[in-house]
Amino acid sequence: MAVSKFVMASLTNCRPLTCAATATASSYQERLVPHPPDLIKWVRREGGFVHQAIKISQDGTNGHGLIASHDIPKGSQLIVLPDNIPLKFGDEDGVDEAHSVLVKLAQKVPDELWAMKLGLKLLQERARVNSFWWPYISNLPQTYSVPIFFQGEDIKNLQYAPLLYQVNRRCRFLLDFEQEVKRAVENLKQNDHPFDRQDVDASSLGWSMSAVSSRAFRLYGKKLPDGTCIDAPMMLPLIDMCNHAFNPNAQIIQEQDAGSAKMLIKAVAETPIKQNDAILLNYGCLNNDLFLLDYGFVIPSNPYDCIELKYDGAFLDAASIAAGVSSPKFSSPAPWQQQFLSQLNLDGEAANLKVTLGGQELVDGRLLAALRVLLASDMEMVRKHDMDTLKSLSADAPLGIANEVAAYRTIIALCVIALEHFPTKIMEDESSLRQGVSASTELAIQFRIQKKSVIIDVMRDLTRRAKSLLSKDTTACQG
């Protein structure tokens, strides 16, 4: 269920909350208006600082970006934003009716969709004719490549149930929230209306949620009387033109302004930056699900990408039989094994059955411990080890080589089953890409290729580990 593309507004003499109807690779570059104001000049005019070597580049493959027009030494300030420039959802917006409607609507947004809360404020400013932030907002992309805007076929093309679930959840939320917004504003007077009496639909809500999820940073917000600060998402004009890298050359820091209690937000060079280098920030060590859902891109060979599986006894029995384990106990664990499963929160009413493969951990510690324990027959031997050792892949076969190899082989069999669940093979996906497809189909296919690659990498790694253990075992027997 994709949110339909933006509808045309019929309102005049206002800032319409509409967008382009079709998204192509080049439309992701297009801005809300054809020739938006110069963002660098605006930031300087409003009291911010922009290093003279910082320029906006419009010819990158990742949309607009910032580049250095000459070398910049490490530690240099690149951009400094005073407190008035970031766009936040704050108390300082006053206590008028329009703001209180916005606050009430924001309270109805679930926490994990925090981007929608700030999105309401962004939409309000987008609709406001004399918004202070118009020079910034008009420079925002017109469309986003996040999957809530994919056609149904491309959502299916993702082929990965946990992501399909998230996309459907977001689409359903936006469609319901559209009704919520309509009800909240239907009888309001022009002056009290948060969106200048414009129609807000699921598409415009989706636009603002995506603008925020792909550009906002979670920083320290308001200072509380006890001196601590609450975490607040904010949009950082110009700084948010930086694209992402896991090895960035810039970072964001917050500092108290010497002359006031207000915070300054700075982008600072973390490494020396060479002429023509892109200025890059790390958006976070995220898997491709989050990069695609929130930012609309996929990172090839992402070291943090992983696949999600459900811990299921019958499924694990099938996998371990396929791996050559005789009479596995996953669906009928002994009471002492069940106790371990409860300790791992893999059994019981409030169990969390989600486990992962890939990423930094390679095998979810809880899954590895469960496999080691359920494939063991000697309770005393298991009880000699603490849980951290049983969960750690770096622990050297804590329950013996045969147990360890059986655990690895079971995971490899799980991987084979998981791969078989994808309707296409990587070779077929690559062939589809070569034939030429739309931007969103390409993104969906790249996403699923990466998921399959994660599984294959886990299989390769565990096969290598099993071989190495078995060769150690043979050497020990011979010695």
The residues binding ligand SAM (CB under 6 A) are: 62-65, 141, 214-215, 240-241, 243-244, 295-297
> Of the two residues 79 and 362, which places its CB atom closer to ligand SAM in the complex?
79
Closest CA to 248 of 61, 114, 65, 83: 65
Token pair listed for 142? 């017109």
- β-pairing, 362-363 vs 54-57, is unpaired
Which residue number, 63 or 328, has a Cβ lying nearer to ligand SAM? 63
User: Please, what is the minimum distance in Å from the beta carbon of residue 362 to ligand SAM?
Assistant: 24
Record the tokens describing residue 183, joined without a space: 């009800």
User: 92: Cβ–Cβ under 8 A, 6 or more apart, which residues?
Assistant: none
How many Å separate Cα 133 from the centre of its chain?
26
Q: What one-letter code names the amino acid at 322?
A: A
Strand partners, 141: 31
Report CA 391 to chain centroid distance, whole Å: 26
Distances from the Cα of 309 to the Cαs of 312, 342, 358, 370, 396, in angstroms?
9, 18, 11, 14, 25
- Helix/strand/coil for 390: helix
Nearer to ligand SAM, 244 or 372 (CB): 244
Q: Which is nearer to ligand SAM, 237 or 328 (CB)?
A: 237
In the bound complex, what is the minimum distance in angstroms from residue 195's beta carbon to ligand SAM? Answer: 23
Q: How far is the CB of 74 from ligand SAM (least distance, A)?
A: 22
How are beta strands 354-358 and 280-281 bridged, if at all? unpaired
Shortest spacing between CB 243 and ligand SAM, in angstroms: 3
What minimum distance in Å lies between the beta carbon of 209 and ligand SAM?
13
For 367, the 3-state DSSP assignment is: helix
Q: Is 479 exposed, middle or buried (0-12, 13-18, 19+ CB in 10 A)?
A: exposed
Instruction: Quote the least distance from Cβ 242 to ligand SAM, whole Å.
Output: 6
In the block, which residue shows the tokens 């020739």?
35
Q: Name which of 24 and 431 has its Cβ closer to ligand SAM.
A: 24
Of 170 and 409, the one with the shorter C-beta distance to ligand SAM is 170
216-223/229-235 β-pairing: antiparallel
CB 168 to ligand SAM: min, Å = 21
Q: Which is nearer to ligand SAM, 206 or 296 (CB)?
A: 296
Least distance (Å) between residue 245 CB and ligand SAM: 6
Nearest residue (CB) to ligand SAM, 174 versus 238: 238
Pairing type for strands 243-244 and 280-281 reads: parallel
Q: What is the DSSP letter of 278?
A: B
Question: Quick one: 11 or 290, whose CB is closer to ligand SAM?
Answer: 290
Strands of 116-186, DSSP E: none
Q: Least distance from C-beta 86 to ligand SAM, angstroms? A: 14
Q: Are 51 and 79 in contact (CB under 8 A)?
A: yes
Q: Least distance from C-beta 92 to ligand SAM, angstroms? A: 24
Q: Which is nearer to ligand SAM, 36 or 82 (CB)?
A: 36
Question: Measured between alpha carbons, how far is 112 from 122 in angstroms, rounded to an integer?
Answer: 18
Give me the least distance between CB of 25 and ligand SAM, in Å please. 11
Find where tokens 């917006």 sit.
Answer: 93
CB 150 within 8 A of CB 444: yes
Please give the Cα distance from 445 to 460 (Å, whole number): 22
Which residue, 60 or 324, has its beta carbon nearer to ligand SAM? 60
Alpha carbon distance 191, 391 (integer Å):
59
- 32 vs 174 by CB, closer to ligand SAM: 32
> Which residues partner with 80 through β-bridges?
49, 266
Report the nearest approach of ligand SAM to the CB of residue 64 (Å): 4
Give the C-alpha separation, 393 to 410, whole Å.
15
How many Cβ atoms from other residues are within 10 Å of residue 425's Cβ? 13
- Which residue's Cβ has the minimum distance to ligand SAM? 63
